[in-house]
Structure formats: C-alpha cells, structure tokens
Amino acid sequence: MINRNDSDLSIRESSNVVNENDLVVNENDLNDTQKYKHLWVQCEKCYGLNYKKFLKSKMNICEYCGYHLKMTSLDRIELLIDPGTWNPMDEDMVSLDPIEWDSSELDSSELDSGELDSDELDSGELDSNEEESYKDRIDSYQRKTGLTEAVQIGTGELNGRPVAIGVMDFHFLGGSMGSVVGEKITRLIEYANNHSLPLILVCASGGARMQEGSLSLMQMAKIASALYDYQVTKNLFYISVLTTPTTGGVTASFGMLGDVIITEPQAYIAFAGKRVIEQTLKKTVPEGSQESENLKSKGTCDFIVSRQFLKLTLDMIFDMHFFRNRK
C-alpha cells in the first residue's frame, strides 16, 4: 500500500528537480543572449529581438510590431536622397566648450533635470553618471558615430529634384542642439534661401544641449529667424519630418515651423518629457498622449507617414506645391 503523503512528497521533489533544471537552462539562455547581443537590436515597444543584419534592409522597422526604431543620419540620407547626389556641407564644424562646462559642480538631481525620460537618457545628452569633460564627450561620440556633430546638412536630389536637407542624429549626444548644430542648420536654410531650394529638416533630438547653457537656447531664435526670411520673405517651401524622439527646444522652434509637418507612426513628440511633467505638475500624463497619432488628432501635424513611403510622400507633396505655384 502506497502512503499518500510519501507519494505527494516524491512528486514535489521530482517537480523541484525539474524546476531547477529549467532554471539552469534559462540561465544558459540568458548567457547566450548576452554573449550575442551585438547581433540583435531590441524593440523599444514590444521588446522583440531584431537581427541587425536584416534590420537596415527593413528600414529599422521592428519585424514584430512595426515600431519605427531610431535610424542614423547616414541611413536617413541613404533612404531619402538619390544615390550619388549627396553633397555634404560644413562637415568640419565641431563644438568647443564655450562656457567651460564642469559637471562636477552639479549634483545628480540637476544632471537629471532634462527633457527626456529615464529610458531615453542612455542615448541622450543627460547622463547622471557624467564625469568626463564636455570636450571629452564630444570626442567620444565623434569616434563612436563617425560624425563631427549631431546634425548632417547638405544638398542632394530627391527623385531627381534638387533639395536642401538637414538630418539630426540621436546617436550623437541625443541629437542635442548646441551652437554648432544651430549654426549648421541656419547656414543650410540661408543656402536654400539663396538658391531657391525646397528645404527638408529631419528632427530627432532631446532638445537644447545643457553643456552650452543659454547659448544653446539662442539657437532656437536664430533658426526661427532664418526660417522667417526663407518662408515669408522669399515664400519658399519647408517640410519638417519629426521622428522618435523630438523634444525640447527643437519641438519649440523649427520642428513645428514647417509648411507641412510629417511624423512617423508612434513617434514620441513633446516639449517636456513625461517624467518632467509628472514631477512638476504632480499629475499623471496619459499613455500615448505624446505620440504622433494623438498629436495629429489635435492638429499638431499634417501627416503620419510610414518610413517606407516617406520618400514617395515627400516627392508627391513637392509636386503638388510646385504645380500649384505654376498655375
């Protein structure tokens, strides 16, 4: 006769053995995932793992949920500009240290008081562990990205039509807007003004660069002034493309000044980040309220365009604009 208690005990013991074995397997899987993490990019929305080798060919769109992951400025230019027509401008302009930034004078709470949420700080200009000098950080990002600054500007052809285009890169100090970024964008606008070229600015930024203090904030007025001359005085055409994330001073200035404003699906667009708003107002920001779909319903942008159709959409808008002006 089998004792029920003994039977239950043996079942529990065998169950424990199985669970322990499963735990070992899971730990091994985790180790393998860490070992090969350089091969994958994790989606920020669904946390699915996208194989890097194929991600570029898919325009950095998650194969599981369709979320538009961040792109480098080089990939953006390749996506929008006809092959062999890209002519970069002012590539030799680099940031100095105009206010002799010293992060040791700030406490961690001041370093964290920026416009981006905590999950975006890893790639942005705000880092609570910031110890190296501003110049060292610039040098580090230049080596890491191969860029001299957080924006690339130049001219090229979009389906055979000459355009002036500026593309911000979030991988360089969070696409933050310092003196050089503001100067490069202003020079691009002035060049487009002088040569009567249509203008495209692709935005991806955490806002003004705090390491340059008020000098970074002055870039908002400088760029807006150049756009006024371009759009109102010369009656030329500017399209703003907002991608994830576009926040702070970029949203508060040229990001929202386009004759046509285009956003990507589920793009995070805001002036102040969710965390900052909640800490300041002591109110919860509704989920999705700072995404492009909600903003379009409020009239903040004109179109939400998936990345694979962006070049075609830009071409169609230019066709309609220039056709109207010819009539």
Binding residues for Zn(2+): 43, 46, 62, 65
Q: For residue 108, give both structure tokens.
A: 């961690």
CA–CA dist 51, 63 (Å, integer) = 9
Contact 189, 228 (CB under 8 A): no
Contact 76, 200 (CB under 8 A): no
How far is the CA of 23 from the CAs of 11, 15, 27, 192, in angstroms? 18, 12, 6, 61
Contact 291, 270 (CB under 8 A): no
**Residues of the binding site:** 43, 46, 62, 65
Q: For residue 117, give both structure tokens.
A: 């949420």
